């Protein structure tokens, strides 16, 4: 098992951190508000620690579990402290009325993060298509939840896939980092379903393999 650093202290940070601790990983929680980081570390348990915001994270895998509106500033503030790290982007750059994206038309969230990060980081999109409480609950009706991933570096994706599997989830590789744009659209699809048909968040989008 490995050390996983999570920047953020919201629902997704709690869900991923809880699953990681349960799987035997060492979890480091980092947040601008140190009190929130300590509270989440206590909730996660299993020896979870807290780190200093802006300092080099302890883990080689760093989960960016902050809203998209804040993530670029966070990555820029960390700067070279993220050099050599594997950044897992779980954000969705969706506008406030859920009709589109706040990113430039020729770009997407994961690409903007990659541009803001040090050149020797790897960025892998993952976890952005699941609601936090669904993720925290784990397998649904005996079937693991699907976590779609996208990234350019095969080794980085393999490491993220192994981490996802260790949580009892099923990684589904969708291709290189530009496919993150599609995954961000899948999150928008989920919100459309929530608003117009399903009317609640107790669902997940996944793949059914036939035959």
In a domain, 190, yes or no: yes
Residue 48 structural domain:
3-198
Q: Alpha-carbon distance 45 to 133, whole Å?
A: 18
CATH code for the domain of 138: 3.40.50.720
According to the model, what pLDDT value does residue 143 have?
85
Per-residue pLDDT tens for 45-60?
Answer: 888 999 999 999 999 9
Q: Is residue 112 part of a domain?
A: yes
pTM: 0.95
Q: pLDDT tens, position by position, for the chain (211 residues)?
A: 789 999 999 999 999 999 999 999 999 999 999 999 999 999 998 889 999 999 999 999 999 999 999 999 999 999 999 999 999 999 999 999 999 999 999 999 999 999 999 999 999 999 999 999 999 998 777 789 999 999 999 999 999 999 999 999 999 999 999 999 999 999 999 999 999 999 999 999 999 888 7
209 inside domain: no
| Residues across the chain | 211
Report yes or no on 95 lying in a domain: yes
Cα angle at 147 between 143 and 148, to 5 degrees?
Answer: 135
**124 found inside a domain:** yes
* Contact present, 43 and 14 (Cβ < 8 Å): yes
The conformational region for residue 141 under phi > 0 = left, psi -120 to 50 = alpha, else beta, is left
Tens-place pLDDT, residues 97-118: 999 999 999 999 999 999 999 9
- The answer to whether residue 135 sits within a structural domain is yes
Count how many domains the chain has.
1
Alpha-carbon distance 62 to 3, whole Å? 9
* 61 within some domain: yes
The answer to whether residue 162 sits within a structural domain is: yes
């Amino acid at each position: 098992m490995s050390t996983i650093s999570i920047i953020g202290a919201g629902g997704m940070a709690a869900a991923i951190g809880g699953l990681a601790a349960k799987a035997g990983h060492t979890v480091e929680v980092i947040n601008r508000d140190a009190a929130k980081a300590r509270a989440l570390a206590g909730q996660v348990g299993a020896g979870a620690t807290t780190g200093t915001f802006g300092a080099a994270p302890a883990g080689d895998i760093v989960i960016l579990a902050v809203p998209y509106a804040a993530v670029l500033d966070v990555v820029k503030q960390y700067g070279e402290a993220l050099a050599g790290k594997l950044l897992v982007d779980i954000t969705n750059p969706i506008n406030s009325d859920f009709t589109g994206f706040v990113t430039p038309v020729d770009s997407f969230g994961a690409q903007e993060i990659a541009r803001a990060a040090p050149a020797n980081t790897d960025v892998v999109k993952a976890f952005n298509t699941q609601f936090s409480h669904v993720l925290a609950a784990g397998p649904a009706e005996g079937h693991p939840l699907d976590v779609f991933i996208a990234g350019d570096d095969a080794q980085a994706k393999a490491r993220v896939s192994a981490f996802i599997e260790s949580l009892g989830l099923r990684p589904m590789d969708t291709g290189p980092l530009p496919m993150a744009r599609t995954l961000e659209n899948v999150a928008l699809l989920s919100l459309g379903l929530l608003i117009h048909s399903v009317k609640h968040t107790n669902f997940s989008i996944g793949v059914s393999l036939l035959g």
